[in-house]
A and B are shown apart, each in its own frame.
Chain A
């Protein structure tokens, strides 16, 4: 009879296995202030946009605090711009994330 192997426990990115306590742990302090990006069909909803750096039909560049997000596509338009919330419509072909300052890691 073939011996059945026990499945290995999953490990986190840090290499440490997830603990039961870790499941109920609060996120980091500025988690909810971080930029938020949501894609719904042909719409992209962003929260945390500080300013529009560049805006053409093919390119939309947004200042998201520590990083800059650039949308490439066709027929891009801003459906709504209210405070830090922004709704983009159009055919988005590509998104590029880059650090705002040189030496940054570019993570959002």
Chain B
């Protein structure tokens, strides 16, 4: 594995190797040493969680971080091409982690440079490190990835996280409940792909009745910035609010996940219940990103 660009490129074997390494690194990060290695963070878009979790991952393994956040004041503003910026970054560092608003940007950069490239989000296309940390979180909280019942809740139309997660879990015989307003349903081409892969799913518009059945509730924010029409957004923005009261009939092992940031879709009274797992999920991002950095830098033992 030279780069991590898309979940489509990742075999089930490679995914399992990364999950195992993340688990080992969580227990003992001292087994990998990335000292004198430099990670270049090329963030063409604002991001707090993904960028800081990568920085934390690199630094906790002894590595260094350089980079940019946003294009203001950089050579990009002077009209430099993406390829040129990336080639220069490649001279300064050992691995590039990049986020870019245009879809396919990370794959393009991976073709331009000789060092490994990690896609930390390319527009609405892929965000493979989020998918991997979600898998790790599900594995850790349930002890298995197999035969789980999962509700994916919220914006299933524009939410790239839920699309990737559905594909990433497909080999593990999941049962999905896709819970969304009618205007934000899972795209038909994804449903047909899942059917082809033999994955069973049901589409729902309400969450209440399925809560006693599920192992994982994956909640997503309905993102204002993805809506072409403000009025459409106002209609659906409060469609699902998860409260502690709503979870009283949940199974003991049920965990609520959220890629964060949340706005109001999970109320703060859920935080103190045994079901809340989204802060652990954010922490797991560091272990998974450590595993990714170590693997791509050839240090995974």
Q: Do A and B bind each other?
A: no
Chain A interface residues toward B at CB < 8 A: none
